[in-house]
């Protein structure tokens, strides 16, 4: 009798175990299938954002909804100073009806290789993003001409239609210097004495007058005498 009870207990236990296994299989998909991690831009510039897509499918390639996908920054340029993030260094997203979970990746401020891993349904996948140096942006500023000097430009580029002759300069010739006869022993007249003659200068003047007029007077007298 005791042996029969033991056998019945074993049968009940096995039945309960089988039921539990079947229930678990009905609630959760079996392990297997695949997990993929993709992005729309594999070469984003530093300081930008790019989306990450985790897709989970079963062994028949059917999308699995409601699966938790854990995104993790594995390595990044800049080392401990790197600031890449998917909201933080680790974030969890849930797949939608298409079996896709989306996370926004900030690639950080440093160029280089950035590695992100995703774990879902007991599987994992990772992607390497090449962060590049941002392109230089050229800013074209309007050119504002400097104001020109109107008077100077008018003189140089817009001459009058009836040019006038250049003004004539009056040339004033200075009188030639006086000729002064030098007689030994007699001082020449001083032009700085304001026109006043010294005694010697007066005597010299009388001598010159007499010397000049005397021959003329003699000639005139002789001619009158002939007549």
Cα(217)–Cα(59) distance, rounded to whole angstroms?
161
Query: What ranges make up the beta strands (E) of 58-131?
Result: 68-75, 90-94, 100-106, 112-120, 123-131
State if pTM tops 0.75: no
Give the per-residue pLDDT at 64: 96
In 3D space, the residue among 119, 120, 83, 103 whose CA is nearest the CA of residue 40 turns out to be 103
The pLDDT of residue 223 is above 50: yes
Right CATH for 34-131 from 3.40.50.1010, 2.60.40.10, 3.10.105.10, 3.20.20.140: 2.60.40.10
Confidence of residue 23 (pLDDT cuts 50, 70, 90): very low
- State the average pLDDT over residues 95-122: 96
- State the average pLDDT over residues 87-96: 95
3-state secondary structure of 87: coil
């Amino acid at each position: 009798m005791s042996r029969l009870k033991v056998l019945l207990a074993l049968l009940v236990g096995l039945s309960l175990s089988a039921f539990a296994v079947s229930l678990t299989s009905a609630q959760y998909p079996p392990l297997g299938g695949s997990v993929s991690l993709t992005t729309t831009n594999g070469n984003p510039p530093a300081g930008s954002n790019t989306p990450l897509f985790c897709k989970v499918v079963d062994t028949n390639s059917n999308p699995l909804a409601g699966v938790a996908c854990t995104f993790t920054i594995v390595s990044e340029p800049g080392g401990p100073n790197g600031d890449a993030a998917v909201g933080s260094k680790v974030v969890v997203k849930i797949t939608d009806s298409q079996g896709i979970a989306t996370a926004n990746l900030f690639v950080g401020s440093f160029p280089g290789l950035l590695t992100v891993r995703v774990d879902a349904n007991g599987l994992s996948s990772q992607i390497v993003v090449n962060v590049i140096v941002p392109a230089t942006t050229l800013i074209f500023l309007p050119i504002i001409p400097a104001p020109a000097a109107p008077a100077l430009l008018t003189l140089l580029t817009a001459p009058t239609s009836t040019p006038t002759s250049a003004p004539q300069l009056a040339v004033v010739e200075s009188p030639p210097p006086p000729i002064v006869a030098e007689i030994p022993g007699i001082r020449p007249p001083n032009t700085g004495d304001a026109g006043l003659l010294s005694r010697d200068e007066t005597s010299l003047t009388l001598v010159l007058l007499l010397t000049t007029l005397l021959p003329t007077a003699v000639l005139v007298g002789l001619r009158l005498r002939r007549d």
